[in-house]
Chains A and B, each alone.
Chain A
Amino acid sequence: MTTIRIDGRDWPTRSDINLLQACLEAGANLPYFCWHPELGSVGACRQCAIKQFSGPEDRKGRIVMACMTPVSENAIISIDDPEARDFRASVIEWMMVNHPYDCPVCEEGGECHLQDMTVMTGHNTRRYRFTKRTHRNQDLGPFVKHEMNRCIACYRCVRFYRDYAGGDDLAAFASHDNVYFGRAEDGTLQNAFSGNLVEICPTGVFTDKPFSAVYTRKWDMRGAPSVCVHCAVGCNTIVNAREETLRRVLNRYNTDINRYVLCDRGRFGHGFVNAPTRIRTPLRIIDGQQVPVPTADALTAFAHMATKGRVVGIASSRAALETCFSLWALVGAKHFSTGQTRQEQECAELAHALLTRHPGALPTLHEMESADAVLVLGEDVCATAPRLGLSLHQSVRQASFHTADNAKVPRWMDAAVRTLGSECPSTLHILTPAPTDLDSVAAETFHAAPDDIARLGFAIAHEIDPSAPPVTDLTPDDAARVARLAQTLMAARKPLIVSGMQYGSRALMQATSSIAAALARTTPAAGLSLVLPECNSMGLAMMGGLSLETVMEQARAGEIFTLIVVENDLTRHLDPADVADLVATVPNIVVIDHTMTPLCQHASLVLPIAAFSECNGTLVNQEGRAQRFFQAVFPPAPIQAGWRWIQTLARGLDPSTLPVTGLIGWGSLDAVLAALATAFPGLAPAAMAAPGGDYRINGEKLRSQTYRASGRTVIRSFVSVRDQPPPASPDTPFSSSMEGAYEPDMPGALVSFYQTPAWNSVQALNRFQFEIGGPLRGGPSGICLLSPAENKNTQARPYTYTTDIPPPYVPQANVVLVLPDTRLFGSEELSMFSPPIMERSSAPTLGLPANTATSDRMMLHLEDGPHVLPVKPVPGLPADTALCPAHMVARAFRFPRMARLEDFPGEGERT
């Protein structure tokens, strides 16, 4: 810490930052464009000019760019200096030379950083009297709109897209005042993080295309803190709604997880909520036809079913804890299934066990960015946990930071650090069956079958800790690779080993855990991270329950009369034959879901549940962090939260038959969580993931709209001109309107939008942090259930290495090992109901090693029959393996699986 003087007032400040950051942290309104907390300083826009004085005697001073000037002991600066003010106003005026006068029709209007900064500088009259330069805009695909005429050339977009996110199809073209940011030609932006351009761009060049179709001003929308449901990373989001429809998803800063960046699946996957596939009323089969019925009718039907025989409940790893738990309370532990296959469930429970046992660190995504050696074992994190992949991508910069430190160049001096580090070796090592998007920044990649990768992993663990079981019969190449990787990891101060469930391999996860544990003996910071498939996989693993195989056995034995399936499309887990068996043997299948999944057509009763944007609940991410999502939408009845549906069903039953008596009396989400804490002590802290529904600031609820929200009476005047009371829910501390408290210090879990005086864009976020890029003023969002402290306690017990090392993969005649080709767009269930994501998902292909494809199309025999697929050569794919898109070809594709591969017979005749 040091002290600097800003306009005559002394401020304590950090010494390793620049003057712009120091001014902003001191609460000053100093405008800027090209600087971004995550991208650092490059000094392009010249907007943050201030006066710096050489000492108390210096009256003249000199203009410096605050973002490019390090904080120095007792620095004396002035923001108010007339010359500096004049220059800043000039910079805006120059930007306005070509910026159009289109604020009223621009979708950035009202949350535009350029608007905020323009007002901040005081510039209001353009003196430029000549013609403006115009550009041609591009079609950049389904996610991002392009309006280049608004560009002020701050270069943030390309710095984010290329330097930070590793994309290569967006670039700066041309020069002088004709500089153009776009693609070489029209076409879809390929990077998985393209949607962040919407927030990175300080004005309206890149805007949210799906939002554009249902556009409304920021100030007219209700906001709610939420959690992404499209993978298990648990990125924090803000959902925005108006007229009780979800309009868009924005990034919500969580210092440990997603920070400033979301992946495109998370940002644009929400389309399933408003898709035509949405279920809005109860449906019942009457005379063989599924027809909408009144709720009362549905409830009567259920009461009838439930009294006649055993009720079994199937939960889902994409349903909230409260929903799963209420189902558990309705059917009882003995009849509660996790809705996963045995393999999925065992893997998830193993992940939980391994993380709990790990003697080292369980790093957050942010901590992963500073890992100095990373080994990924058999997981394409870019597809299964994209945001985690981006953190690993950042970790490769560690070496350049050390070079910069040695050269005394501050780490935030972005261009300089990248120049100095341009030939620093990567610290990322990837062992996967198929190539991944991270391969291009990896020091080493190696492709092998999952079992062979696991063997390498076990061998590395043995190399690090000789007491770990050895792996015999390694080839000399593999032995050398093992020795090299072990050396690299042992030399690191903060090594990280990553794996996951993508290939359904317990051995892979165990090998990963063994390496991390072996390292942790001497390196306590040795990190372990395991990627799980769904947003609540970990929560469900901590609850436990029957596997789908057990449910199938009971069904075939005729023991199930009614099956309640909550938010789970069983056709993704069970082969078509099993689904047919289930339908044939279980008289009543009740599906409670928000989306018409293929399972719904087999249901005798379908009940419409609230989507994540319409209810409140808790999800446990893959690192064991419980996080609360809140509703931005108050859905019309009968749509309601899952636990309320289950409570409603329970009310129709004889209370004495219920395993958990409290179920009927739960009045709010907090009551559900209290009951959950009793039944599952391990999940008890989940109640503290966010303040409860009774939380108040100065006796007030928190507002979820800006004070500028308009038209709440007018908007429904075609129905009635009477003012309606805003909707309310006992589950949240939010008011649904502009009334209530809102301040930068409010709890981090309850930030529903970012706005502070003079800052209307997302960059108002700076005001919610004491240190920019640090924790939120109001404290963390969410709570870790697997705390490192807990791991320390178990350290007394020595880590026991598994001795269950798989044999090498041996190709068999006439069959190939089929592995899932998990895709960023196409593999995840809910996002595939979202129109823009559907548009981005490409047609299924069959990936084969580059030299084995004998024709353009081949036939793969899976359990549900033959599939003819176009062949895509995959360089590096191990021999006798094939990549098949998960859930796109065979819906319930289980893996790894041996399958027969044939030339497509029609191929010869066609030519």
Chain B
Amino acid sequence: MTAASERPLTAMIDPAMGPPDCATYERAGGWQAARLALGSLTPAEIIDRVTRSKLRGRGGAGFGTGQKWNFVPKEPASERRKYLIANADEMEPGTFKDRWLLEGNPLQLVEGMILAAYAVQAAHGIVFLRGEYQEACVRLHRAIGEARQQGWLGENILGSGFSFDIHVHSSAGRYICGEETALLTALEGRRATPRSKPPFPQTGGLWGAPSVVNNVETLCNLPHIIVNGPEWFAGLGLGEDGGTKIYGVSGRVAKPGAWELPIGTPLRQIIEDHAGGMRSGYQLRALLPGGASTAFIDTTALDVAMDYGSVEKAGSRLGTGMAIILDDRTCPIGMIRNLEHFFAQESCGWCTPCRDGLPWVERLLDAIEDGTGQDEDMEQLDRHARMLGAPGRTFCAHAPGAMAPLASGLKLFAADFTAHIQQGRCPHHAGAGP
């Protein structure tokens, strides 16, 4: 990090070398931010820098990180029990950006957590890690152990008087644990059910104590913001938002993958320049720009800048920034069915519309895709998209997220739905039918 990189998050990641150890990390510019922060910055100054950097939460909701921290009561860590939690429960279908960061450079996350914890004065850190991320778990433990040995974690870090340590919790595994309040409930050893707010986690989170939950990618940005300054970070973005973003593309493109790019990079550029365009023989039909719970956009919106505001204007959400491509040879209804199967299965079962509505949707799509759909089924799908899609009707955002691809799909693929029902079979399925 001696020279400010344009790809700060992934600059140190080298799959051939494995994750850097403490010494390598330090040689490449690591620990500068922690040293600076603990040595000469106040928590308020850190919050201020992060606020000015225009960093927004990379988990999908896009809430201002500095803003989020500001709600935390300001007592010093020694006077009040507070928690900083890294949300590493990356379970969004098609999304694998945090895994890259966790496996590639876990010390960067550790340093980011130290900075965030110092900013909100939390003495306790927890990484809530997706259960299946076993390699990340091993590497995180190794990194944390080494950091602790070197005095970056533990009591009185660098003689600053600030103490902080990190515990890794491997999740027992449910998609809903990625929702920050369900994550807290799960950490407490209870059913992973989201909580109502207030109290907000910042004031009454884990076991009632003030808690901040930040996404892994968000936290990994912090060392770079502190070292290089908020203006540098804000300047990295192409539009309103600051920094870089890890974008990814999966589906039938030539080179599926993930890339760190300036936030606000146009979607077309990501697909065509970085993913190498569509595989030969396939046409791009539509895509989910930021994971399974974002609405479909079609080829007319390919020039959208991939930042929070622009994607929303295009009728979808930036989400995780990891796009899933629907090509012209794949049945869109089959794809939606697959998504709704996932959402129905991952409903926590707490509120009625989500618990009993999503399986109904799934079965309707099953029927349509299998050729037994009826005209009335379209009304039912419309009704569910309407009833479950609006916020405030279900307890959390799971069902609205699940309805995003359905509601947009019903509009974009209306002809496909009609064809399925009228022909009594999936037209994409050669030889299928009654």
Which A residues are closer than 8 A to B by beta carbons? Answer: 42-47, 49, 62-65, 68, 87, 90-91, 94-95, 97-98, 127-130, 152-153, 155, 172, 174-179, 403, 407-409, 413, 415-416, 419-424
Contact = CB atoms under 8 A, between A and B. Distances in A.
Contact of A127 (B196, B207, B380): B380
B45 interface: no
A98 B203 CA distance: 39
A37 to B, nearest CB: 19
Given A90-B353, A95-B352, A423-B208, A177 B203 contact: no
A45 B356 CA distance: 11
Interface of B: 174, 188, 191, 195-196, 198-199, 203-204, 207-209, 344-353, 355-360, 363, 367, 374, 376, 380, 383, 387, 390, 392-395
Contacts of A62: 392
A419 B174 contact: no
B36 to A, nearest CB: 35
Given A94-B357, A97-B359, A43 B395 contact: yes
25 contacts: A42-B196, A43-B351, A44-B352, A49-B393, A65-B392, A68-B196, A87-B387, A94-B357, A95-B352, A127-B376, A128-B360, A172-B191, A176-B359, A177-B347, A177-B355, A179-B349, A409-B198, A415-B195, A415-B196, A416-B195, A419-B195, A419-B199, A420-B208, A423-B209, A424-B208
Contacts of A129: 374
Given A43-B395, A409-B199, A176 B352 contact: no
B395 A44 contact: yes
A416 B359 CA distance: 29
Contact of A419 (B204, B346, B380, B393): B204
A68 B195 CA distance: 12
A95 B349 CA distance: 12
The 9 closest A-B pairs by CB, nearest first: A179-B349, A94-B356, A176-B347, A130-B363, A175-B349, A420-B204, A422-B208, A97-B356, A420-B208
Contact of B208 (A175, A413, A421): A421
B81 to A, nearest CB: 9
A129 B360 CA distance: 9
A113 to B, nearest CB: 15
A176 B204 contact: no
A95 B351 contact: no
A408 B203 CA distance: 11
A176 B207 CA distance: 25
Contacts of A403: 208
Given A419-B208, A422-B208, A407 B353 contact: no
Nearest to A41: B196
Given A63-B392, A409-B199, A177 B208 contact: no
A176 B395 contact: no
B174 to A, nearest CB: 7
A47 B353 CA distance: 10
Contacts of B356: 94-95, 97-98, 177
Contacts of B188: 422
Interface centre among A90, A98, A172, A177 (most CB of B within 10 A): A177
Interface centre among A62, A128, A152, A176 (most CB of B within 10 A): A176
B393 A63 contact: yes
B352 A420 contact: no
Contact of B355 (A153, A422, A423): A153
A407 B203 contact: yes
A422 B380 CA distance: 42
Question: Is the contact region of chain A dominated by helix, strand, or loop, or is it mixed?
Answer: loop
A97 B347 CA distance: 16
A49 B395 CA distance: 12
B421 to A, nearest CB: 14
Nearest to B343: A176
Contacts of A44: 350-352, 395
B199 A407 contact: yes
A598 B345 CA distance: 60
A178 B353 contact: no
Nearest to B346: A176
A179 B191 CA distance: 11
A416 B392 contact: no
Given A177-B347, A409-B198, A422-B188, 8 more contacts: A46-B353, A87-B393, A95-B356, A175-B191, A176-B358, A413-B196, A416-B204, A420-B199
Contacts of A128: 360
A159 to B, nearest CB: 12
Nearest to B345: A176
Interface centre among A44, A87, A421 (most CB of B within 10 A): A44
B198 A97 contact: no
A889 to B, nearest CB: 41
Interface centre among A63, A408, A420 (most CB of B within 10 A): A420
A434 to B, nearest CB: 30
A177 B356 CA distance: 6
Nearest to B380: A127
A90 B198 contact: no
A43 B197 CA distance: 11
Contacts of B367: 130
Contacts of B348: 175-176
A42 B380 CA distance: 28
Contacts of B347: 175-177
A136 B236 CA distance: 58
Interface centre among B208, B353, B390, B393 (most CB of A within 10 A): B208
A91 B191 contact: no
A51 to B, nearest CB: 11
B349 A176 contact: yes
B352 A152 contact: yes
A203 to B, nearest CB: 13
Contacts of B196: 42-43, 68, 413, 415-416
A54 B352 CA distance: 26
Contacts of B209: 423
A174 B208 contact: no
Nearest to B184: A419
A194 to B, nearest CB: 21
A399 B356 CA distance: 37
Contacts of B352: 44-47, 91, 94-95, 152-153
B390 A177 contact: no
A409 B357 CA distance: 30
Contacts of A152: 352
Contacts of B345: 176
A408 B363 CA distance: 43
Contacts of B390: 63
A424 B208 CA distance: 9
Contact of A175 (B174, B383, B387): B174
A422 B208 CA distance: 6
Interface centre among A49, A174, A419, A420 (most CB of B within 10 A): A419
A42 B196 CA distance: 8
Contacts of B351: 43-46
Nearest to A180: B349
Contacts of B353: 46, 90-91, 94
A20 to B, nearest CB: 14
Interface centre among B347, B348, B358, B359 (most CB of A within 10 A): B359
A47 B356 CA distance: 13
Contacts of A407: 198-199, 203-204
A404 to B, nearest CB: 8
Contacts of A65: 392
Contacts of B380: 127
B207 A423 contact: yes
A178 to B, nearest CB: 7
A172 B367 CA distance: 31
Nearest to A175: B349
Contacts of B208: 403, 419-424
A409 B198 CA distance: 7
Given A94-B357, A176-B355, A46 B393 contact: yes
Contacts of B191: 172, 175
A177 B395 contact: no
Contact of A94 (B207, B346, B360, B376): B360
